[in-house]
Amino acid sequence: MLPSDPKTKKPLDIVVKFALSVFVGSFALIWGGMYLSRPDRSIPPYTVGAQSGLLVVTDVPRSSTDEEVESLVKRFRKVGHETHDFARMKIYPTTPGDPGGPYKQIMIYVFDDHGWTDPDVLAKYLVGDASVVKDYEKSMRGYYRLLDQEEDGGLGPMPQDGRISSDTRVLFKGRVTDPLPVEAEPEQGIAISPL
């Protein structure tokens, strides 16, 4: 019998190989899950505060710039053009059971104060409570409106009865069948990936 060579390595036991593969595989799954569920940083974080019929009120952080609100309004426009499915934007159907689709008509208001998106405040606004209506419209940071095939969106209060406020900047107005303008891709936020 020959003496064993001290430089010869003994192969890893099958249990050790299995444990190492589980260890590495679990990190790969965690990283993959984090990558796939990362938040969309091209729009500001927003929440849907209340919804009544066609009207949906959302809020963004107070620190949101006009450019960030504009990117959110344009995202609503993109969804209106491409899929007409606002469910992925956390909005319940506004026209359920309609043969034209669950989102045939929708009006989205964007605020930067969560108080304006409270369901009780929205109810007062809808019944025309004078103590709420004027300040409600002044506090609006942006809007998106889709009525059948016509859409418009902008910053500031939504135009009422064709009257545009001096605080309103209309970003777009047209039909959802019109081609979307080609715009530069928004700057991406900080990546989660360690690579």
pLDDT digits 0-9 by tens, 129-153: 888 888 888 899 999 999 988 999 9
Question: Would you report the helix, strand and coil content of the chain in percent, each value rounded to 5?
Answer: 35, 20, 45
Q: What angle do CA 54, 59, 63 make, to 5 degrees?
A: 155
Mean pLDDT of 63-71: 91
31 belongs to a structural domain: yes
Q: Where are the extended beta strands (E) located within the chain?
A: 47-52, 55-59, 105-111, 142-147, 150-155, 169-175
Q: Cα separation of 99 and 73, whole Å?
A: 26
Query: pLDDT > 90: what percent of the chain?
Result: 34
Mean pLDDT of 50-78: 92
Residue 193 has pLDDT above 70, yes or no: no
186 belongs to a structural domain: no
Check residue 187 and give its pLDDT: 52
Mean pLDDT of 165-185: 79
Instruction: Give the chain's count of helices (H) and strands (E).
Output: 4, 6
80 and 169 in a single domain? The answer is yes
Name the band, by pLDDT with cuts 50, 70 and 90, for residue 123. very high
89 belongs to a structural domain: yes
150 and 62 in a single domain? The answer is yes
Residue 194 has pLDDT above 50, yes or no: no
190 belongs to a structural domain: no
Tokens at 4, concatenated:
């064993």
Residue 195 has pLDDT above 60, yes or no: no
189 belongs to a structural domain: no
Q: Cα separation of 65 and 169, whole Å?
A: 14
Domain residues for the domain of 17 are: 12-41
Residue 139 CB neighbours (<10 A): 14
60 and 29 in a single domain? The answer is no
181 belongs to a structural domain: no
The total number of structural domains in the chain stands at: 2
- Mean pLDDT taken over the chain: 83
84 and 25 in a single domain? The answer is no
153 neighbors 71 (Cβ within 8 angstroms): no
77 and 54 in a single domain? The answer is yes
Mean pLDDT of 74-89: 88
132 and 147 in a single domain? The answer is yes
Mean pLDDT of 65-76: 92
Q: Cα separation of 145 and 56, whole Å?
A: 10
Residue 191 has pLDDT above 80, yes or no: no
